[in-house]
Amino acid sequence: MDTVLLRYSVRVNGMTELAFTKLDVLTGLDPIRVCIAYRDQAGEHRSLPFGSSNLADFEPVYEELPGWERDLTSAATWDELPPQAQAYIRRVEDLSEVPVRQVSVGPERDQLIRLG
């Protein structure tokens, strides 16, 4: 997840909430890396200094979050998600400054968890 580009998209598009799709495909990844900034010769940038058009001269800065092993596809509520998945969603909310309102945990329409 690149939260720098996510924050840029939130700002440019005026987003007020997010929908997470395909959370289930992250099962088994440990750790989960989240891009929290970009670094160049001038330092570390938590927002894009010149938009998203050219990041070739930038190096991503990652934060690592613990992953989970439990299959998410049968989860129907927030409480049925593993604590690590909940923490991942909350961290993305914190970094993007936008609440997540829906989380899909599989390809079917009924595999959607509504939050808040």
pLDDT tens-place string over residues 70-105? 999 999 999 999 999 999 999 999 999 999 999 999
| Fold of the 3-114 domain | Adenylosuccinate Synthetase; Chain A, domain 3 (3.90.170)
How many Å apart are CA 14 and CA 4, to the nearest integer? 15
| Phi, psi at 51, each rounded to 5° | 80, -170
Q: Which pLDDT belongs to residue 60?
A: 93
Residue 55: strand pairing partners: none
Residue 106: pLDDT over 70: yes
Residue 28: which region, alpha, beta or left (left: phi > 0; alpha: psi -120 to 50)?
Answer: left
Q: Which pLDDT belongs to residue 48?
A: 74
| Annotated domain spans of the chain | 3-114
pLDDT tens-place string over residues 22-69? 999 999 999 999 999 999 888 998 887 666 667 778 899 999 999 999
**Within 13 Å, how many C-alpha atoms sit on residue 28's CB side?**
3
Q: Which pLDDT belongs to residue 56?
A: 79
Q: Which pLDDT belongs to residue 49?
A: 62
Prediction pTM value: 0.90
